[in-house]
Amino acid sequence: MGTRTTISVLFLMLIALHSPIHANPIKTIVVIVMENRSFDHMLGWMKRINPEVNGVDGSEANPLSTTDPNSKRFFFKNESHYVDPDPGHSFQAIREQIFGSDNTSADPPPMNGFAQQAFSMDNTTNMSQDVMNGFNPDMVAVYKTLVSEFAVCDRWFASVPSSTQPNRLYVHSGTSAGATSNIPALLAKGYPQRTIFESVDDAGISFGIYYQNIPATLFYRNLRKLKYITKFHLYDTFKSHAKQGKLPGYTVVEQRYFDVKIAPANDDHPSHDVFQGQMFVKEVYETLRASPQWNDTLLIITYDEHGGFYDHVATPVHGVPSPDGIVGPEPFLFRFDRLGVRVPTIMVSPWIEKGTERHKLLISHYIICHALNLSALLSNNHMSKGI
């Protein structure tokens, strides 16, 4: 399912959910987009908790050199903790991670170049070990509990095989408008595409963006219009709005993307400590759980891209439609016809049956499962007791 389809499904779902004749209990969708971690790195070892999750068992490996049959191999471990420096996640780095070389013809791709690409950045093999490592579930205890009690999506892929901002642009608009890298001048200018924010606003559905140090959603040029200024709120307002039952229908909660004197970053982007990210997600969840809107809420926790960390599931490289026909810039001239690496996604709602996993449908790009998939997640007859 392509991003433009995904965004359209979400928009139509929001319209339906706010219809007085619609029986679906979800009235508020809350979205968190964390940073730069793959599914296997964060959630792969959750397979021990739920064998239905398409995770890891330790047999997965990458060679240090994809062209040397006798190369040293790095097996995937469960010993990750603090990662520094930041692994490679540029367009060309990800191409090597997915295909093992510059040749992108393999279908499915071998996903065998992660250790090799990391070694090209750090010849001590320390980074190669970092990218071939995941978290023991007890080290990400908030996710361990949410995965056990709610739903995990294990066929959710980044929008673009590239870095942060192209993927973040896809999240709320279904396109990066041709971006395949983080270009400060273009981000400062703002990207021109229409977003879901304008669509829901035009449909009479409220939206709100709650931020901590900067709202990355302002990289959408249209959100800089004066009429949207009241849609942006500091993070503490999220907590007060939730307590008062005043959260908008489409709510985005942004993290601290960089350290400040009074508080460290909590977005999970290396070298930021995932402990801070766990505390952030926990606080958002508990805030929603205590809100009078809890019984009407779906919380989606996902990631923009994989950040250079290994994932064993082959990324889709065919049947991916371009959202708008735009071709990316030189030298790659990318046609947006394949996806990025799989990323963690957890869905939380009192209407999701405990321990649900979704992998029957491919979920590409971001925001929400296919309408049929979501219907399978949400059941009026099964209310999870939560945590």
Residue-wise over 306-323: b if at least 16 C-beta within 10 A, else e?
Answer: bbbbbbbbebbbeebeeb
Q: What is the DSSP string of 227-280?
A: GGGGGEEEHHHHHHHHHHT---SEEEE----S-BTTB---S--TTS-HHHHHHH
Q: Could you tell me the CA-to-CA distances from 327 to 27, 87, 177, 283, 343 in Å, in that order?
A: 37, 27, 9, 40, 24
Which of 200, 204, 197 has its CA nearest to residue 223? 197
Predicted local confidence at residue 353, as pLDDT: 84
Token pair 């004066």 is found at 226
Q: Parallel, antiparallel, or unpaired: how do β-strands 151-153 and 345-348 relate?
A: antiparallel
User: Which segments of the chain does DSSP mark as H helices, in order?
Assistant: 3-17, 39-43, 91-99, 114-121, 126-131, 141-149, 164-173, 184-189, 196-202, 235-244, 274-289, 371-377
Question: How many other CB atoms sit within 10 Å of the CB of residue 190?
Answer: 13
Torsion of CA 95, 99, 102, 107, to 10 degrees: -110
Task: Kindly give the interhelix angle for 114-121 and 91-99, rounded to the nearest 10 degrees.
Answer: 140
pLDDT in tens, the chain (387 residues): 444 444 555 555 565 555 554 567 899 999 999 999 999 999 999 999 999 999 999 999 999 999 999 999 999 999 999 999 999 999 999 999 999 999 999 999 999 999 999 999 999 999 999 999 999 999 999 999 999 999 999 999 999 999 999 999 999 999 999 999 999 999 999 999 999 999 999 999 999 999 999 999 999 999 999 999 999 999 999 999 999 999 999 999 999 999 988 899 999 999 999 999 999 999 999 999 999 999 999 999 999 999 999 999 999 999 999 999 999 999 999 999 999 999 999 999 999 988 676 654 445 443 443 332 343 344 333 333 333
Question: How many other CB atoms sit within 10 Å of the CB of residue 375?
Answer: 12
Structure tokens at 170: 């896809």
pTM above 0.85, yes or no: yes
Predicted local confidence at residue 22, as pLDDT: 55
Predicted local confidence at residue 369, as pLDDT: 33
- Long-range contacts for 373-376 (Cβ within 8 Å, ≥24 apart)? 374/13
Q: Are 171 and 209 in contact (CB under 8 A)?
A: no
Helix (H) or strand (E) holding 350: none
Q: One-letter amino acid identity for 54?
A: N
How many whole angstroms separate alpha carbon 146 and alpha carbon 287? 15
Q: Are 110 and 99 in contact (CB under 8 A)?
A: yes
How many whole angstroms separate alpha carbon 193 and alpha carbon 199? 12
Q: Could you tell me the CA-to-CA distances from 283 to 253, 313, 320 in Å, in that order?
A: 11, 31, 36
Task: Kindly give the interhelix angle for 274-289 and 141-149, rounded to the nearest 10 degrees.
Answer: 40
Q: Could you tell me the CA-to-CA distances from 82 to 131, 177, 246 in Å, in that order?
A: 12, 34, 37
Q: Is 19 exposed, middle or buried (0-12, 13-18, 19+ CB in 10 A)?
A: exposed
How many whole angstroms separate alpha carbon 307 and alpha carbon 267? 12
Structure tokens at 88: 């490679």
Q: CB within 8 A of 141, min separation 6: which ones? A: 278
